[in-house]
Chain A
Amino acid sequence: MGYLETMLNELAHFALILAFGVAIVQTIVPLVGAHRGNVAWMRLAEPAATIQFLLVGFSFAALTWAFIVSDFSLQLVFMNSHTDKPMIYKITGVWGNHEGSMLLWVLILTLFGASAGWFGQGLPMRLRARVLAVQSSVGVAFLAFVIFTSNPFLRLELPPLNGRDLNPLLQDPGLAFHPPFLYLGYVGLSMAFSFAVAALIEGRVDAAWGRWVRPWTLAAWMFLTVGIALGSWWAYYELGWGGFWFWDPVENASLMPWLIATALLHSAIVVEKREALKSWTILLAILAFGFSLLGAFIVRSGVLTSVHAFAVDPERGVLLLMILGFFLGGSLVLYAFRASAMQTQGVFSTVSRESGLVLNNILLAVSCFVVFIGTMWPLVTEMLFDRTLSVGPPFFDAAFTPFMVALAIALPLGSMLAWKRGSFDRMTKAMAGWLFLAVALAALAYAVQSGNSALGPIGVALGVWVVGGALADLWIRAGRDDLRAKLRRLRNLPRADWGKATAHIGMGVTIFAIAGMLAWEKEDIRIANIGDRWDMGAFSVQLDAVNQLQGPNYVTTMADMSIWRGDRELYTLQPEKRFYPVANMPTTEAAISNGFIRDVYVVIGDPQVDGGWAVRTYDKPFANWIWGGCILMALGGLFSLSDRRLRVGAASAKPARANAVPAE
């Protein structure tokens, strides 16, 4: 590698150290400034946040460049890249390892910090300075972690001729973009945390605070939703039998912050609209990021056995545990001293939207607790009770599902109640029809399905109930006039209302799809010779040929399997078994025909001693609806985020108009 690359690497390393210095300054000076009322000191936070982001951004760009040009003088590039690898995976390989992914984590952290400076012009100066300082303190911890324990810029004295290649499992579009989304989610929750801690230091939470913290939480939640969905979709098509959720510690690590962020999203609405649930909302904001940090610890320390474990290092684990302990412990102590200062203004009656949201929060928080205790339990029993045991899918299925069922039942009811004081009358009228439809369709599903499992029908009922509730809510909002007036009013509904409906519909779709797929999927495992045809539900499948082929950095066994309906050939699927020689690792590439109603999923296995091949075929009904529902949820978040009321700074951008409109 040339002189230029060497320089770039050293400059990038230096930029990282500079960013660390800036982060320390940005943590201390604005905090002191806010305490003393020194405007200049408070003002320092914003340019510092931007500089910090630019420095880390430069560092990240340089590392990406090193991967693009395969600069094997960097140890990280040598360990995780190869010249034969397709360009897209050279780039995504930057975060396909511990050091690079930590740098991405820090990059996103500083991006959020800088954005809070850019978009936070409407915030009171003192609050803004404190938010940026707290955000930067998280940056100090993680920059130190990267620089001292996970430095991506370590050099090799004698650059090897070629690298060791990225783990083949990571050379896949789904997994390539799964981590950035997940990190945008995890790290985005740091903003909610910074707002919460700043509010605790300030000793004040009001409706405006709820309005400021919500868009950040929404954005983080949205990314987390997409990130989790991508990971689950990847598992579905890559692992070779169509499983999509395994209750593995690492998956649970992403589900816990998601559940708490969902609760936070809803309770922040109560703070914004009704000035109630303030201290609870602060606690949720702290916990949401706390669970993000716990996730980082679980993934990277290896204390819990996971199929995902990568770059496990106990020493780094200890440091991450210290970071977790410092931020979670510190903020909870602060919370204990200051939470009582949060005065609740709004009162509400037992039957009200507020109560509905309290129930939502309780169910989400307790379901998160189920995941938490199930994930940590093997560790607890091993350390304290000398019992080595496992907590796997059967436990979570039994212990977690009831809470989701309760949540789905309560969702349409709670979301339709009026603020402050609601009545069941209006709701009963709106939902009676949907209740009837839900039960009727469930009964139909029960009658049509083979076997008498209750899972499918319950999924149908819950799905129809939740989706129907969202539609009924929109219909009520449209008023009682004629159809044209209704449509006009629907069009003019705030985007947040559309966001709410879309996200709730997505939830209903996902619940239905998970139950439907698990209840009605079919599996066939057999030995097939070339030319064999067998039935698979409404289709039949024929093994036409098996060929050995060469890919860019792998060799592959590829089968041609045709799918038939009666005597008509529909299409051909080509499942593969690949072998990556550099990494010495085989992978299974299932071939899937994605359909609206069902997926046909075929896998080619090993050649058999007596001739023929092991083949698996699956019929997976409603598979795509699982992730379709997740996309709807994320879209709902996006709609809500684009609502004018939430855009931070919107009020200050149009002060004249805001003054002209009388207070609500």
Chain B
Amino acid sequence: MIRLIAILLLVASTAMAVEPDEILDDPALEQRARALSQGLRCPVCRNESIDESNAELARELRILLRERLVDGDTDQEAVDFLVARYGEFVLLRPDTSGVNVVLWYAAPAMLLVALGIGWATIRRRAPAPTALSATEKADLEKILRS
């Protein structure tokens, strides 16, 4: 039993995401911190935000972010601070600067093109006018009666 506990204490460093001691007393500030940290990538993890990561660095960044917010940083300032340190790699939502325009606007542009092609194809295939002209009606009448 003692050995079990010893083993468990050895792995006690496997902290999970946001720990109780990190949480700010001000709920509004804490909510902002949570929202921001969900959009920031943990630099040493495989593909996790600092909000969900168990890594030590993620914890440090969560605390750092909260310190900035307590010191009165706006959301943008707090994020910019981390980007300045770790590069745009930490942004899970890439900005629209430079070539990233392609990332954001390629799909909407593709939708417009696809809708255009689809519309043109459907129009081209549309059947001839459906209503019969007066003479056609008369002809039809004649055929039906005969």
Instruction: Give A residues with C-beta under 8 Å from B.
Output: 239-241, 243, 246, 248-249, 276, 305-307, 309, 344, 347-350, 354-355, 358-359, 362-363, 365-367, 369-370, 373-374, 377, 381, 385, 387-395, 398-399, 403, 421, 525-527, 548, 550, 555, 557, 577, 579, 581, 586, 588, 603, 605-608, 614, 616
Contact = CB atoms under 8 A, between A and B. Distances in A.
Nearest to B109: A366
Contacts, number: 153
Given A388-B87, A550-B4, 4 more contacts: A389-B91, A389-B94, A403-B107, A579-B7
A387 B99 contact: yes
A366 B49 contact: no
Interface string B81-92: 000000111111
A603 B38 CA distance: 20
10 contacts: A243-B52, A306-B46, A349-B126, A350-B126, A359-B118, A377-B103, A392-B39, A603-B16, A605-B20, A614-B20
B142 interface: no
Considering the complex of A and B, which 5 residue pairs feature the smallest CB-CB distances, nearest first?
A: A392-B92, A394-B93, A370-B107, A362-B114, A586-B14
Interface string B114-144: 1100100111011100100000000000000
Nearest to B51: A241
B123 A350 contact: yes
A385 B15 contact: no
B69 interface: no
A614 B41 CA distance: 24
A350 B119 CA distance: 8
B19 interface: yes
B92 A373 contact: no
A393 B103 contact: no
B28 interface: no
A21 B8 CA distance: 53
A555 B107 CA distance: 49
A307 B103 contact: no
Contact of A527 (B21, B107, B130): B21
Nearest to B112: A366
Nearest to A368: B107
Contacts of A350: 122-123, 126
B12 A606 contact: yes
Contacts of B118: 358-359, 362
Nearest to B106: A373
Contact of B17 (A241, A344, A354, A359): A241
A373 B103 contact: yes
A392 B126 contact: no
A558 B80 CA distance: 42
A318 to B, nearest CB: 22
Contacts of A348: 122, 125-127
B23 interface: yes
B4 to A, nearest CB: 5
A527 B92 CA distance: 30
Contacts of A581: 7
B111 A344 contact: no
A388 B122 CA distance: 43
A284 B45 CA distance: 36
Contacts of A588: 16
Given A240-B16, A246-B47, A359-B118, A347 B106 contact: no
A431 B75 CA distance: 44
Contacts of B121: 358
Nearest to B130: A421
Contacts of B14: 586, 606
A579 to B, nearest CB: 5
Contacts of A394: 38-39, 92-93
Nearest to A376: B103
Contact of B126 (A347, A359, A369, A385): A347
